[in-house]
C-alpha cells in the first residue's frame, strides 16, 4: 500500500514507519522539519513537508496515498495547543483524506477516553473518534493506554543513577505496551477487513502500578532502595490551576489534568484475547515489561562495564607514560 504516516518523528510514529517499510509498504511521512526527520529518509521513506495546522499542506501530501496512519499529537514543549493540533488539525486531516479518496485510515486514541470528559485530551480523543466514525472513511481506531518507552526516563534511568523517582501519591496501574508491538497492530489493520469501521483496545500484557515498576527496576538494575518522591494530588491540582492562568501554561495544564485519570485508582487495562484473534497476531510475541526492562538494563550495564574498563586501561597507560 502507499501510506502517509503523520507524526512519524514521534515515539510511536517512527515504529509505525519502520514496520510499514519492513513489510514492504511505500511510506511517505508528513513532517514539519525534514532535517529532524532525516533518519526516516535513510530508512527509505519519502518526506513531505507539512503541518496539521496548515490545512493547505495536507492535499499535496495525500496525493496518491491509499492509507493514512495518524500518530501525531501536540508536543508538550510546543507553543501549539492540544486543541489546535489534536482537534483542528485532525479534523483538517480527516476531511483532506476523505476528499483525496483514501481507502484506509488508522487513528490512535486513548483507552477509556469517554470516561474522563473533564480531561481535555481525553475529551478531544472521544470527539476525534466520533468525527472519524461519521466521516465515511474506512477507519480503524486503536485505543492505547501507555508506552513502555516513556518509563525509561521516568523510572529506569533515575533508579540506575540513584536519583529521585517522582510519582503521584495516588496512581492507577497501567497496561503499558512497547510501541513496536502497537505498530504491528496498526500495520496489520490495513490488511484485515474485520478491523474496518471499528475501534479496539490495544494494551500491554498486564497493568503495572508505580510501586511494582520501581520494584522491577530495583531488581534488574541492582540498585538498592531507590529514592521515591510522592507528589500529593492536591499539589498537582494547584500547579495545574496556576498554569491555566497563563496562556503559555495551557499545554502544561492540560497534561497535568492527566493525573486525575491515574488518581481514580481504576486500572487502565483491557481484555485483549478477542483483539489478538481479530488481528491474527500471537499474544506470546508481545513484549512484557519484564522483558523490556531486562533488555534495557543488560544493554546499559554492559556499556557501563565497557566504559569502566576503557577508563581503567587509559589510566594505567597514562601512569606508565609518566617517568617520575
Ligand atoms: N505517549 C503515550 O503514552 C500515549 C498513550 C495513549 C495514546 N497515545 C497516542 O499515540 C499517538 C502517538 O503518541 P506519541 O507519544 O508517539 O507522540 P510524540 O512522541 O509526542 O510525537 C508527536 C508527533 O506528532 C507530530 N506533530 C506534532 N504537532 C504536529 C503538527 N502540528 N503537524 C504535524 N505533525 C505534528 C510531531 O512532530 P515533530 O517531531 O515535528 O514535533 C511528532 O512526530 C498520539 O495519538 C497519542 O495521543 C500516546
10-residue mean pLDDT series, the chain (324 residues):
97 98 98 97 98 97 98 84 94 98 98 91 95 98 95 92 83 93 98 98 96 94 86 72 58 66 85 98 98 94 78 73 60
Q: Report the pLDDT value the prediction gives residue 77, as an integer from 0 to 100.
A: 76
* Smallest CA separation from ligand 1 atom 48, residue: 146
Q: Is 7 touching ligand 1 by the criterion CB < 6 Å?
A: yes
Q: Is 72 touching ligand 1 by the criterion CB < 6 Å?
A: yes
- The C-alpha atoms of residue 322 and residue 324 are separated, in whole angstroms, by 6
Q: Report the pLDDT value the prediction gives residue 322, as an integer from 0 to 100.
A: 62
Tally of CB atoms within 10 A around 246: 10
Q: Is 52 touching ligand 1 by the criterion CB < 6 Å?
A: yes
Phi, psi torsion values for 142, nearest 5 degrees: -110, 120
* Smallest CA separation from ligand 1 atom 18, residue: 10
Q: Report the pLDDT value the prediction gives residue 313, as an integer from 0 to 100.
A: 73
Rounded to 10 degrees, the C-alpha dihedral 143/94/150/172 comes to -40
- Distance from Cα 189 to the centre of ligand 1, integer Å: 20
Using the atom order of ligand 1, give the atom closest to the CA of residue 7: 43
**Helix, strand, or coil (residue 107):** strand
What is the maximum alpha-carbon separation in the chain? 83
C-alpha cell at position 178: 512497547
- Distance from Cα 9 to the centre of ligand 1, integer Å: 8
Q: Is 120 touching ligand 1 by the criterion CB < 6 Å?
A: no
- Nearest 5°: CA angle at 152, between 146 and 157? 155
Which of 2, 66, 67, 71 is closest to 31 using CA atoms?
A: 71
Q: Is 259 touching ligand 1 by the criterion CB < 6 Å?
A: no
Amino acid at each position: 500500500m502507499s501510506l502517509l504516516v503523520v507524526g512519524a518523528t514521534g515515539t510511536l510514529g517512527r515504529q509505525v514507519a519502520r514496520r510499514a517499510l519492513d513489510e514492504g509498504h511505500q511510506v511517505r511521512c508528513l513532517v514539519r522539519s525534514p532535517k529532524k526527520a532525516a533518519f526516516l529518509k535513510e530508512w527509505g521513506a519519502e518526506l513531505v513537508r507539512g503541518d496539521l495546522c496548515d490545512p493547505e499542506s495536507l492535499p499535496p501530501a495525500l496525493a496518491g496515498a491509499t492509507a493514512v496512519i495518524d500518530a501525531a499529537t501536540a508536543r508538550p514543549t510546543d507553543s501549539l495547543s492540544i486543541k489546535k493540533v489534536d482537534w483542528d488539525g485532525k479534523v483538517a486531516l480527516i476531511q483532506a483524506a476523505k476528499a483525496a479518496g483514501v481507502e484506509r485510515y488508522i487513528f490512535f486514541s486513548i483507552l477509556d477516553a469517554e470516561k474522563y470528559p473533564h480531561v481535555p485530551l481525553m475529551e478531544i480523543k472521544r470527539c476525534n473518534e466520533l468525527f472519524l466514525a461519521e466521516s465515511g472513511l474506512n477507519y480503524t481506531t486503536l485505543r492505547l493506554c501507555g508506552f513502555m518507552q516513556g518509563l525509561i526516563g521516568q523510572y529506569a534511568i533515575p533508579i540506575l543513577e540513584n536519583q529521585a523517582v517522582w510519582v503521584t501519591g495516588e496512581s492507577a496501574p497501567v497496561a503499558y505496551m512497547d510501541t513496536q508491538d502497537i505498530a504491528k497492530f496498526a500495520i496489520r489493520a490495513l490488511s484485515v477487513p474485520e478491523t474496518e469501521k471499528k475501534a479496539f483496545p490495544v494494551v500491554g500484557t498486564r497493568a503495572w502500578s508505580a510501586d511494582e515498576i520501581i520494584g522491577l527496576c530495583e531488581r534488574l538494575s541492582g540498585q538498592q532502595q531507590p529514592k521515591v518522591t510522592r507528589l500529593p494530588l492536591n499539589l498537582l491540582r494547584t500547579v495545574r490551576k496556576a498554569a491555566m492562568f497563563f496562556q503559555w501554561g495551557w499545554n502544561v495544564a492540560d497534561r497535568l489534568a492527566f493525573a486525575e485519570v491515574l488518581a481514580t485508582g481504576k486500572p487502565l487495562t483491557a481484555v485483549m484475547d478477542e483483539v489478538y484473534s481479530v488481528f491474527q497476531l500471537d499474544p506470546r510475541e508481545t513484549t512484557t515489561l519484564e522483558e523490556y526492562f531486562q533488555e534495557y538494563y543488560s544493554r546499559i550495564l554492559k556499556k557501563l562495564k565497557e566504559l569502566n574498563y576503557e577508563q581503567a586501561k587509559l589510566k594505567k597507560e597514562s601512569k606508565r607514560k609518566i617517568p617520575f
